[in-house]
């Protein structure tokens, strides 16, 4: 059985597991699974910006916040979630495009400081512009959406709604990565000067990498608001951006499945470690540090390296001797 067939079978098992998972969980467990799906969408966006295009961004949490506030403000005034979905995605795409302009002039840690400043600015707007965001009191009673007239009231219904969104975003990202756009992103990450010499419009692809990542962050926020049904500025501080960055790096920056695995480590693992009582944060931090020391390319990179090494050490097939008539 070759590698492609094994990958397809493993993917089908994972999808079947995700579909069946809510039937053995209580509402809180379904909430955590839904949070994993919502967070993974934001991490996929950051993986496009950082992992494939090589542009450092600490602003992804701010885009999640913009999407969440857009959904909260619109749906509490009677607008359908679909309208908030489109408005937030387009608004975040446009803001992300503008935020990409500094990347045309500064790189590396200077770019990180620019996006950090943007993230802080957005957080201050959420906190201080009480007339629109509610300030520290936030926005409550955010309704769950309806789909073709059916209200997604129960945790299980909303989980499947978010899982479907994750599937659509994953398929779009899969197509993008294997398109000429994705190859241009990788060329931009590996060597911008060589990419420019080969005819790649590095300016346009840099802006597009920021815009696409920001748009997916906005979509994640639109789903987050009806999940928690109450938002305030605290979840959208710089800590969220750092947490999303952790997901991409721990899972495997530049690998398609990196954000999925990274979100498991950042969202699900702390819940599983709760059994360790007050020491769970210690175990979590130790695990992340050891993992990054052992494999700086993340979990997916670790297994890929192991698989490649195993294939190289396999003994070559012995040639069959020709039969003598």
The first and second tokens of residue 147, run together, are: 């789909």
Q: pLDDT tens digits, residue range 150-187?
A: 888 899 999 999 999 999 999 999 999 999 888 888 88
Q: pLDDT tens digits, residue range 89-115?
A: 999 999 999 988 887 777 777 888 889
Q: pLDDT tens digits, residue range 127-139?
A: 999 998 999 999 9
pTM of the model as a whole: 0.91
Residues forming beta bridges with residue 146, ordered by sequence position: 151
Among 54-58, 113-117, 166-170, 282-286, where is mean pLDDT lowest?
Answer: 282-286
Average pLDDT, the chain: 87
Task: Report the alpha-carbon distance of residue 286 to residue 122 in Å, rounded.
Answer: 32
Task: Report the alpha-carbon distance of residue 182 to residue 171 in Å, rounded.
Answer: 14
Task: Report the alpha-carbon distance of residue 126 to residue 130 in Å, rounded.
Answer: 8
The per-residue pLDDT for 291 is 82
Would you say 75 and 145 are in contact if contact means Cβ atoms under 8 Å apart? yes
């Amino acid at each position: 059985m070759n590698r492609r067939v094994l990958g397809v079978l493993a993917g089908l098992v994972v999808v079947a597991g995700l579909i069946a998972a809510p039937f053995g969980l209580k509402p809180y467990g379904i909430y955590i699974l839904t949070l994993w799906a919502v967070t993974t969408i934001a991490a996929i966006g950051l993986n496009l910006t950082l992992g494939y295009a090589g542009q450092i961004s600490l602003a992804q949490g701010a885009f999640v916040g913009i999407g969440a506030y857009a959904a909260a403000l619109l749906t509490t005034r009677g607008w359908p979630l679909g309208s908030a979905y489109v408005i937030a995605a387009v608004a975040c795409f446009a803001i992300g495009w503008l935020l990409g302009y500094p990347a045309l002039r500064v790189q590396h840690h200077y770019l990180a400081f620019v996006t950090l400043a943007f993230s802080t600015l957005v957080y201050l707007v959420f906190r201080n512009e009480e007339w629109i965001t509610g300030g520290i009191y936030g926005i409550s009673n955010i309704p769950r959406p309806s789909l073709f007239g059916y209200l997604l009231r129960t945790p299980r219904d909303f989980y499947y709604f978010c899982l479907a969104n994750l599937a659509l975003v994953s398929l779009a990202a899969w197509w993008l990565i294997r398109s000429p756009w994705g190859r241009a992103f990788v060329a931009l990450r590996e060597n911008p000067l060589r990419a420019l010499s080969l005819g790649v419009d590095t300016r346009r692809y840099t802006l597009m990498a920021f815009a696409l990542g920001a748009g997916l962050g906005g979509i994640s926020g639109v789903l987050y608001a009806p999940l928690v049904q109450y938002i305030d500025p605290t979840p959208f501080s710089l800590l969220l951006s750092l947490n999303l960055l952790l997901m991409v790096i721990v899972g495997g920056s530049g690998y398609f499945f990196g954000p999925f695995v990274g979100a498991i480590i950042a969202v699900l693992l702390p819940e599983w470690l709760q059994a360790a009582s007050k020491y769970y944060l210690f175990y979590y931090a130790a695990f992340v540090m050891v993992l990054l020391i052992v494999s700086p390319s993340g979990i997916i990179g670790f297994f890929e390296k192991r698989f490649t090494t195993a294939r190289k050490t396999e003994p070559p097939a012995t040639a069959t001797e020709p039969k003598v008539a």
